[in-house]
Structure 1
């Protein structure tokens, strides 16, 4: 792991040799970049998509939402630092496979496992006392805006991150698979909080967690707890 290498192993070695101050800077920079990327993607799709808005108006941008979204970036950075700590202490092992087939299967596995875990996590967040303390702020966004994805209680952000780390502790996923999954997660979350349906209507029948699917959850908080798919909602009777 710490020997000089070429290709993928060489890049992993660079991160292995990071000092903790370097990890702090890296985690903040990468999460700020992803935050700005999500906002830019939202605005781009919103300006170029010709489909009718799902709701009449977007949720207004508030100062409190802006600060909370920035704190979410900090929380995501802390999760990344926790992952780095677990990796450097051998609790998480990172694979180096570059096989397209392996990467595809690992990404699909991550999507399905995390979708299942997030379903239960999200369902639990709607228990009355949990909702009041944690998740209610997110649902002030009955309609959405480009910050909605990041308007989360810190415990929610960290909870999602810890779920991800637990999954990574259970199997040596390729670093490429992890990176692809995280990018899909960000893009899916951004699309899910648009005020316009991004996917074709037929995608609902393909069990995809479409924009409309998540928008319905913001309108009816007892339905559609899944994220990437509607599989678990259909299975457990919470689909709408």
Structure 2
């Protein structure tokens, strides 16, 4: 399948994992596109924009017929749910021009600190309440999104985590919980989210995926 626009996710559990990721991306943006990238010989990473100026990623055991391609999320989801999905399926047409911005590096991140997942979801819940009170038709105010809600230190780094990254993590449903919708009271007190940082990127790693955002002043993102 090398060189072809095909995806093979042989494990039903991994197909379900990827389908859940795609469903959350489509809930945030019905026209979402997904950037698929090979990671080594056995893995494929799926990247999505979240609408919070943060990227979301989930990595699954899969085979991609091309190194790097952008595809409509609905197209991939339909393939995963189609007959014979376990033996691989075509991805239709590439939409590479629809992807705007660079991806974070695969290496170079240091572990800063582990924080309780419940605390991050509580921050998202409180932020959502404030957004409802003060937000407009365009969503939460920028001042709320850009507010630093957590500062962590470790590994020689001090990292400020803005609300928009916490919102993105919660919106993608990357933290396990015991109900239909995320509720901080249902999250295990032992569940953690790992904060990592590179020179120009911040990343939060949760059980079901990661979110990443550029650190510091906003920079123009070049297509990578």
Q: Which has the higher helix share?
A: 1
Larger Cα-atom Rg: 1
TM-score with structure 2 setting the length: 0.27
TM-score with structure 1 setting the length: 0.26
Between 1 and 2, higher relative CO (CA 8 Å, sep ≥ 6) is seen in 1
